[in-house]
Amino acid sequence: MKSGVVETPRKTQGGRLGSQVFPLLPFFAFTGYFLIWPVLAVTLRSLRGNEGEWTFSNYTPLLHGSYLHAFTTSIKLSLITSIIGSLLGALFAYVVVRYASGKFSAVLDSISAVFANSGGVPLAFMFIAAFGTEGLVTRVLKTLGWDIYAGHFTIFSFTGVVMVYSFFQIPLMFLVFKPAISGLRKEWLEASTNLGATQVTYWRRVAIPMLLPSFFGAFFLLFAGGFSAYATARALTVGTVPLVPIIIGTLVDGNVVSDQQNLGDALAVGMIIVAGVAMIGYVWAQKSAAKWRQS
C-alpha cells in the first residue's frame, strides 16, 4: 500500500542558481551598461594612439608637468575637504545624537540631506553671491570692520573651493556617520562605569575603537566624492584651479592636444585608479565596522 505522503521534487542546484540570478538581471544590465562598459571603453581608448595603434604614450604626460600637478592638487583638495568634513561632521553627529531627539533630529537629517546633495552651478552661484567681492556676507563683514578680501583670500581660489566643498562634505559625513554613533549602546557605558572606568577610558578603550572603522569608511567616501566633483569647481573657478576633472572636461569639449587625442581618456583612467583605491579603503572599513557590530 502506497503512503499518502507526496514527495515534492527537489530543486536542482542549477534551478536554485537560476532563481537567485534571474531577478538580478536588470541590475546587472544597468550596472554593465552604465558602469562597466564605460570604464572598459575609456580604458581601451586610452591605450590607442592617433593612428589607432596600441600604445602607453597617453599616460606619459600624467607623470610630470601640469597634469601631475593637477592630480596633486585634486588629491590635496580631496584630503583637506575630507578631513574637515570628517571631523566636523562626526562632531555634529555626536551632538545631535546626544542632545537632539524626535522631530528635531528628523528635521536636522532632512536639512543635512539637502545640503549633502547640493552641488553644481547653483552651489557655486550661491557662494559667489554670498562671499564674492560684492557678495552679501562680504558686505556685512565690511560693515563690521572685517574685509575678507584685504589679504590673499578670494572665493575663486583653492581656498574658496575648499570652503565650498566643505559645505556638502560636512553634512554628508553627518548622515553617514550618525548611525555609527547611534549604534553605541548605553549598556556598554554602564558596564564600563561599573568596572571602574572613567568617561575618558570608555571612549579610549570602547567607543573610539568601535567608531574608527565607520569613521575611516566615511572618510574614504568623502575623499572619492571630493576627488570626482566637477561642476561646482568648474563654475566657481572657470579653470583657474588645476583639477583633473576640469582638465578632462576641457579635453572633452574639444581642446585636444594635437599629438594625443586620447589624453583625456588616460586622465580619466588615472582618476578611476585613485577613486578605486579610495573605494577599496571604504569597503575594508565597512567590513571592519560590520565585524564590530556583530560582536
Predicted confidence at residue 181, as pLDDT, reads 92
**Domain extents in the chain:** 62-294
Decide: residue 261, CB within 10 A, 0-12 exposed, 13-18 middle, 19+ buried. middle
- Per the CB < 8 A criterion, the answer to whether 176 and 218 are in contact is yes
Predicted confidence at residue 40, as pLDDT, reads 94
- Per the CB < 8 A criterion, the answer to whether 56 and 263 are in contact is no
Q: For the chain, what is the HEC assignment?
A: CCCCCCCCCCCCHHHHHHHHHHHHHHHHHHHHHHHHHHHHHHHHHHCECCCCCECCHHHHHHHCHHHHHHHHHHHHHHHHHHHHHHHHHHHHHHHHHHHCCHHHHHHHHHHHHHHHCCCHHHHHHHHHHHHCCCCHHHHHHHHCCCCCCCCCCCCCCHHHHHHHHHHHHHHHHHHHHHHHHHCCCHHHHHHHHHCCCCHHHHHHHHHHHHHHHHHHHHHHHHHHHHHHCCHHHHHHHCCCCCCHHHHHHHHHCCCCECCECCHHHHHHHHHHHHHHHHHHHHHHHHHHHHHHHHC
Predicted confidence at residue 1, as pLDDT, reads 47
pLDDT tens by residue, the chain, 295 residues: 445 555 545 555 556 666 777 888 888 899 898 889 999 999 999 999 888 889 898 899 898 888 999 999 999 999 999 999 999 999 999 999 989 878 898 999 999 999 998 888 899 999 999 999 889 999 999 999 899 888 888 899 999 999 999 999 999 999 999 999 998 888 888 888 888 888 888 888 888 988 999 999 999 999 999 998 888 998 898 778 999 999 988 887 766 555 677 888 999 999 999 999 998 998 888 888 776 666 5
Q: How far is CA 197 from CA 94, 117, 181, in A?
A: 21, 41, 20
Task: Count the neighbouring beta carbons within 10 Å of the beta carbon of residue 54.
Answer: 8
Predicted confidence at residue 206, as pLDDT, reads 85
Residues 6 or more apart from 31 whose CB is under 8 A from it? none
Q: What angle do CA 129, 132, 137 make, to 5 degrees?
A: 70
- Per the CB < 8 A criterion, the answer to whether 181 and 93 are in contact is yes
Q: Retrieve residue 175's grid coordinates.
A: 548622515
Q: Retrieve residue 104's grid coordinates.
A: 528635531
Q: Retrieve residue 154's grid coordinates.
A: 578670494
Q: How far is CA 119 from CA 15, 79, 166, 277, in A?
A: 46, 18, 11, 24
What's the CATH code, domain 62-294?
1.10.3720.10
Interhelix angle for 120-131 vs 158-182, to 10°? 110
- Per the CB < 8 A criterion, the answer to whether 207 and 265 are in contact is no
Task: Note the pTM of the prediction, 2 decimals.
Answer: 0.86
